[in-house]
Amino acid sequence: MSRKRSASKWDVVSGRTSQQNIRFSSALIGPPQHARKKFWRAVLRVRKTHPNGNFDLDLDLDNITVDIIDATPLYPPGLAFTRLHGCHILNWDVQLLQPLLPLLLVLRKHLRFESRYLYISSTMQQNAVELCTILVRDTYGELSSRVVAVLLEYGRSALHTIVRRVKIPEKVVKQTLVVLIQQHLVLHYTHDDGGRDATYYECNWLQIYELLHSGRIVRTIEERFGTDAASVISNFLLLGHARVSDFISAYGTSTKTKTNGTLPNGTPISASEATGTSQITSAAQISKHIVSLMQEKFLIPVQLHHMHPTIDTENAIRQKVTSEQAGITAAMQAKMKKAIDEKVAEKMEALSTDLDNKNFGLKRKSDYQEGRARKRAKFSSVNETDGEEWEIDGTVVLRVNHSKFLAIFRNEELVRWVESRIGKATSQVYAELLKHIEKKAISHRTEKGLTDVGKKYVVSTLDIGTTLSKAIDLVNSIAFGSSANGGSKRHMANGSHNQFGEVGEESEGDSDDYDLDADLDADLDVSMNGNHDLSSAAQEKKEQLQNIRKHLSLLAEDPNQFVTKQEGSMQYGGWTVDTERLCRLLCTRELEQIVEERFGGVATRLVRIIKDRGKMDEKGLADTALLRQKDIRSHLGALHERGFIHIQEVPKTAERLPARTFYFFYFDEGMSKMAILNDFYKAMSRIIQRIDYERGLNSMILSKSERTDVKGHEEELLTKKELTDLAKWKRTEEKLLGQLMRIDRQVMMFRDW
Amino acid sequence: MSDLQALARTVYDACIPNHQKLYTSNEILAHIPKRDPQILLDTINELLGRGYLKTLKQGDAFVYRFVTKDAVDRTRSLTSDEALVYQHIESSAREGIWTKILKTRTNLHPTVLTRCLKTLEHQRYIKPIKSVKNPTRKIYMLADLTPTIEVTGGPWFTDAELDADFINALLVAVERFVASRSFPKQKPNSGNPNAIIPFEAGYTGYPTLSDITQWVKNSNLTEVELSEADIKALLEVLIYDGKLEKVIGGTAYKAIRKIEGAVKQGFTEAPCGRCPVFDLCHEDGPINAANCVYFEKWLAEI
């Protein structure tokens, strides 16, 4: 009763009814008849099991509407207004959705919604919508951002719906959509909806977020392939995707104008502008760059399924698979479900396996030539391997492979982590190891983060040895000490290069490495005996490999287990990296660091204890933390308020009196991450808005400095005050952009890796 | 003085040097002439009546304890109410007894009880103590006893209060000790003081729990006796603080490398990560990015 009353109080205040509409567009729910039946069942079950589940169902042909009457009176109606449209959940906050979660879970189970869908929708929070809209506005202008905003807010929509909501003529909307689709920011899918086709558009917000990465991407390519390749990639970034022949023919003539025209100055991706300066003239040069970028999977051919929402692709495959199994009774169908699921997953995977082929999208150069050349290629055995010439297929449409870059950024972060934990030299060895894995593994972005099955790829010490820079001081970066404390110093003083091996063995005494080392030395001794005049180069090589192995053992022995040793055939040992686990640890570490800097050391201690021990009450916490209860109370309050820890109430009596209730604190990593991600998005939006504001303040001086006659002659043409203002603006922008990128790093850590 | 009294006195004198001991009736019988059970019974009754002996139950059998003269004099000078209260407090031994429980057990009127406690305390027979578990309770125990660890809370507590300064000092000391053993000593001529290099893989010289306990014991850091369990609690806290970690299968401890001037992560350094009104901030709201005072301040710091 009291609940009802409080709900009606809100009614008066807000002038709304407490009915919340949840709408499901039938477009998504597979074959309609079938789905509806299941939906009924799902909702009825929720009504039975859910304490607040007082649902009213209303079925019509196009929409299934669920009214939740009095379901969320705990929250004011304005807040609780949750819309599920095409199963996009927008504008909700974590707490608010909790009463609905059972419903969603049942829906997912019964309607076979792909779990990622729920996940992505659920991470698509209001702050992310705001950020995405700002990003699109800064890069592609007001018009695009309005369309994107509508798509983000209302979810999947048909063209006429968009037109109605944006209030822009259909023709303009269409043009905008074309641009957005070209950039992969909007996905589309055409359903065969009972004889007539219905096309729906959906915003790919993760791709919008990728706009922030342009600067990083261009810089990475520049470091690896030089400025020319960087300009190629930055143009692909600008274009979204492009046919190779068009790209090459347009290059050189229009590069510069395009760069400046599309990008407004000073936007977050302005970094890509800087690299567009060098001129590439010959088409051969460009195609050479493109080929090497393709072989390393920085550029990939666009496939049809890139343009469609994953869920639709999966639904289509599922429908096909199911129809192949026609003529099965309902009972059998249940049994078959698992088999079908497996088949669908298999086919989904097959879509991206094309990429595993190194030369996918390329063709052999010899194919182009006359039969004579082909024959020659056939006969020469040398050409069969990597030395083969590959040429680009002019008709292929290419795009930038963002997952690859995410993997690279992740590896950089892991290397930084190693550097802070162990040391510079070890981190350089680690970087080399990761580079080898990255070349072999193809990263895919999945619901759980990036998967590049790093565990599968074994990198041998030899591989690292061949590519590792000789300039790295491997010897003096590890101390070789016996277990006695004083001993270490002595060893270090004496531990010259020659005695190195023996010192290492002595101190490694009881570790596993000992045997391997001995074996290794024996091997090498044998080879030495067989080949008496062992050159000093080979000797050096041997030492280098041993040293590398010492660093890798250090990495393997770390509590975080940066690498895993693979016992087996490989000489000098093989190594794998479990990136998924490491990223989880990395993320946890970052979370703790945020807690530390925001709430202080005591709060971090508490969070770690709660995480380690599970649910704990205040007293237990105080005892473990060796702190007074009254001292930790305020910390717990602050942490709870910001969603880092949560409370479970366990009443001792039926009355649920606060005084007679246990309060257990617990830590839910998923929820904390989500809460903080939401904060990240908001902070990023604010930074961009602040940049806009600062630019507005300095608009006079900026427009003056950008005049063609002033540019390059600032010193002469601007007054002293103007110059200092300009410098100050530049510093301000730099600081804000730097901050933006640092938060971006955290977003990747929490969401993508 | 009757024979019985004399006999009782001899038995008492014979047994009192050993007054902590619990006597069975057979043991007392050894002091009785002719080991006559009837005389034994009379003697015990005599001693009990005068308060020199106490009956206790051990399992099913009765055992006896002799009471020292002081204690007997003490109780004798008390009123019957006071004696009752004293008895209950005495029976609680080192645990102490809560006044509320005392009240229900003795069935005395509150004012009477308070008066009794006051006199007893005044005469220094009993003392009030503070319990860690229930700091608000008034608990009494005999004046000559020391409270148990459950009551005092162990080495971390001083006057039933967690001694934060003491703990923090110990934490810092232990951390320093472990850190000094976790990394090789710096070469005096090495250029970069931040370049702490690690020990090689398989190094076994990291301090173990017993090493650390021993060090604390020998270091004169504290008068308080600290057991391995106490030190372990300290180490746990240091691990939760992210200062130490367990190595070599959890048997030894190692300090986590600290980088001086390490880069802070982005979020909390920007104004938004520390903003007290972050939830109220909205593009069109009264608090927004354009009029934000925190941004203003932060940008001025360039």
Can you tell me the distance from the alpha carbon of A64 to that of A103, in angstroms, rounded to the nearest whole number? 14
Cβ atoms of residues B126 and B120 within 8 Å: yes
Cross-chain CB nearest to A732 (options B164, B247, B299)? B299
Q: What share of chain A is helix, strand, coil (3-state, %, to 5)?
A: 65, 10, 25
* Among A residues 227-256, those touching chain B with beta carbons less than 8 Å apart: none
**CA-based max dimension of chain B:** 107
pLDDT in tens, A306-331: 888 877 787 778 777 777 766 666 66
Of residues A421 and A264, which shows the higher confidence score?
A: A421
Asked: is B163-187+196-255 a CATH 1.10.10.10 domain? The reply is yes
Read off the pLDDT of each residue in B81-101 and give the average, rounded to a whole number: 85
What is the DSSP-derived secondary structure letter of residue A535? Answer: -
Check CB contact under 8 Å for B241 and A612: no
* Among A residues 195-214, those touching chain B with beta carbons less than 8 Å apart: none
Cross-chain CB nearest to A550 (options B167, B200, B266)? B200
Can you tell me the distance from the alpha carbon of A507 to that of A483, in angstroms, rounded to the nearest whole number? 7
Q: pLDDT-derived band of residue A358, with 50, 70 and 90 as boundaries?
A: low
* Whether A614 contacts chain B with CB within 8 A: no
pLDDT of residue A389: 63
Cross-chain CB nearest to B270 (options A485, A553, A743)? A743
Q: Chain B residues with CB inside 8 Å of A594's CB? A: 265, 267-268, 273
Count CB pairs under 8 A between chains A and B: 187
First to last CA, chain B: 101
Of residues A717 and A519, which shows the higher confidence score?
A: A717
Site of tokens 């990003």: A135
Cβ atoms of residues A156 and A199 within 8 Å: no
Dihedral angle at the C-alpha atoms of B127, B128, B131, B134, nearest 10 degrees? 150
ipTM above 0.90, yes or no: no
Check CB contact under 8 Å for B267 and A742: yes
Site of tokens 């904390």: A672
Q: Chain B residues with CB inside 8 Å of A676's CB? A: 267
Check CB contact under 8 Å for B185 and A489: yes
Cβ atoms of residues B62 and B25 within 8 Å: yes
Q: Chain A residues with CB inside 8 Å of B240's CB? A: 604-605, 608-609, 612, 624-625
Q: pLDDT-derived band of residue A465, with 50, 70 and 90 as boundaries?
A: confident
* Among A residues 482-541, those touching chain B with beta carbons less than 8 Å apart: 482-485, 488-489, 492, 504, 507-514
Domain ranges of chain A: 2-113, 127-203, 204-361+396-400, 404-577, 582-667, 674-752
| Full DSSP string of A202-222 | EE-HHHHHGGGGHHHHHHHHH
Check CB contact under 8 Å for A481 and B295: no
Check CB contact under 8 Å for A423 and B196: yes
Token output for A21: 């509409």
What is the DSSP-derived secondary structure letter of residue B33? Answer: G
Residue in A with minimal Cα distance to B272: A683
Residue in A with minimal Cα distance to B266: A742
Q: Chain B residues with CB inside 8 Å of A480's CB? A: 199-200
Which amino acid type is present at position A145? Answer: S
Can you tell me the distance from the alpha carbon of B175 to that of B183, in angstroms, rounded to the nearest whole number? 13
Check CB contact under 8 Å for A420 and B257: yes
Cβ atoms of residues B127 and B87 within 8 Å: no
Fold identical between A127-203 and A582-667? yes
Fold identical between B3-68 and B78-153? yes
CATH classification for the domain delimited by B3-68, as one of 3.40.50.970, 1.10.10.10, 3.40.50.720, 3.60.40.10? 1.10.10.10
Q: Chain B residues with CB inside 8 Å of A477's CB? A: 197
Can you tell me the distance from the alpha carbon of A181 to that of A309, in angstroms, rounded to the nearest whole number? 12
| Full DSSP string of B255-270 | EPP--TTPPPPHHHHS
Token output for A546: 């041993």
Cross-chain CB nearest to B200 (options A478, A598, A687)? A478
pLDDT of residue A332: 67
Q: pLDDT-derived band of residue A364, with 50, 70 and 90 as boundaries?
A: low
Residues belonging to chain B: 302
Cross-chain CB nearest to B237 (options A509, A554, A605)? A605
Which range is least confidently modeled, A74-83, A657-666, B196-205?
Answer: A74-83
Can you tell me the distance from the alpha carbon of B290 to that of A52, in angstroms, rounded to the nearest whole number? 42
Token output for A231: 């300009």
Cβ atoms of residues A589 and A582 within 8 Å: no
Cross-chain CB nearest to A683 (options B156, B241, B270)? B270
pLDDT in tens, B276-287: 888 788 888 788
Check CB contact under 8 Å for B205 and A482: yes
Closest Cα in chain A, distance from residue B188 (Å): 11
Q: Chain B residues with CB inside 8 Å of A413's CB? A: none
Read off the pLDDT of each residue in A515-537 and give the average, rounded to a whole number: 50
Can you tell me the distance from the alpha carbon of A381 to that of A392, in angstroms, rounded to the nearest whole number? 23
Of residues B198 and B289, which shows the higher confidence score?
A: B289
* Among A residues 446-475, those touching chain B with beta carbons less than 8 Å apart: none
Check CB contact under 8 Å for A735 and B233: no
pLDDT of residue A71: 31
Can you tell me the distance from the alpha carbon of A283 to that of A725, in angstroms, rounded to the nearest whole number? 43
10 Å CB burial of residue A265 (0-12, 13-18, 19+) is exposed
pLDDT of residue A105: 52
DSSP H helices, A600-719, are 601-613, 618-625, 629-641, 669-697, 699-705, 714-717
Identify any residues that bridge with B247 across adjacent strands, giving them in sequence order.
Answer: B252
Check CB contact under 8 Å for B272 and A484: no
Check CB contact under 8 Å for A508 and B201: yes
pLDDT of residue B160: 67
Q: Chain B residues with CB inside 8 Å of A95's CB? A: none
Check CB contact under 8 Å for A608 and B240: yes
Extract the runs of DSSP E, i.e. beta strands, from A299-404: 299-301, 362-364, 390-392, 397-400
Closest Cα in chain A, distance from residue B216 (Å): 18
Closest Cα in chain A, distance from residue B273 (Å): 7
Q: Chain A residues with CB inside 8 Å of B184's CB? A: 479, 481, 488-489, 492
Q: Chain A residues with CB inside 8 Å of B162's CB? A: 622, 626-628
Residue in A with minimal Cα distance to B181: A485
pLDDT of residue A405: 87
Whether A345 has a pLDDT exceeding 50, the answer reads yes
Dihedral angle at the C-alpha atoms of A687, A688, A693, A694, nearest 10 degrees? 70
Cβ atoms of residues A750 and A590 within 8 Å: yes
User: Which residues are CB-neighbours of A476 under 8 A, at least 6 positions away?
Assistant: B197
Whether A227 has a pLDDT exceeding 80, the answer reads yes
Question: Average pLDDT, whole number, for chain A?
Answer: 68
Q: Chain A residues with CB inside 8 Å of B264's CB? A: 597
Task: Give me the percent of chain A exceeding a pLDDT of 70.
Answer: 62
Please say whether the dihedral angle defined by the alpha carbons of residues A242, A245, A246 and A247, taken in this order, is positive or negative: positive
Cβ atoms of residues B198 and A478 within 8 Å: yes
CATH fold of A582-667, please?
Answer: Arc Repressor Mutant, subunit A (1.10.10)
pLDDT of residue A491: 37
Can you tell me the distance from the alpha carbon of A397 to that of A395, in angstroms, rounded to the nearest whole number? 6
Token output for A332: 């059998």
Within 10 A of A114 (CB to CB), how many other CB atoms are there? 20
pLDDT in tens, B242-269: 888 888 777 888 888 776 655 667 788 8
pLDDT in tens, A433-462: 888 888 777 666 665 566 655 566 777 787
Token output for A605: 């201690």
Cβ atoms of residues A123 and A253 within 8 Å: no
Task: Report the range out of A97-101, B90-94, B95-99 with the highest average pLDDT.
Answer: B95-99
Cross-chain CB nearest to A742 (options B161, B201, B265)? B265
3-class state of residue B123 by DSSP: coil
pLDDT in tens, B181-238: 887 776 554 555 456 677 777 777 888 888 888 888 888 777 777 888 888 888 888 8
CATH fold of A127-203, please?
Answer: Arc Repressor Mutant, subunit A (1.10.10)
Check CB contact under 8 Å for A742 and B262: no
Can you tell me the distance from the alpha carbon of A286 to that of A247, in angstroms, rounded to the nearest whole number? 9
pLDDT of residue A452: 59
* Whether A426 contacts chain B with CB within 8 A: yes
Residue in A with minimal Cα distance to B170: A626
Please say whether the dihedral angle defined by the alpha carbons of residues A393, A396, A397 and A400, taken in this order, is positive or negative: negative
Can you tell me the distance from the alpha carbon of A300 to that of A361, in angstroms, rounded to the nearest whole number? 8
Check CB contact under 8 Å for A481 and B242: no
pLDDT in tens, A162-203: 898 888 899 999 999 998 998 888 888 887 766 677 888 888
CATH class of residue range B78-153: mainly alpha
Domain ranges of chain B: 3-68, 78-153, 163-187+196-255, 266-300
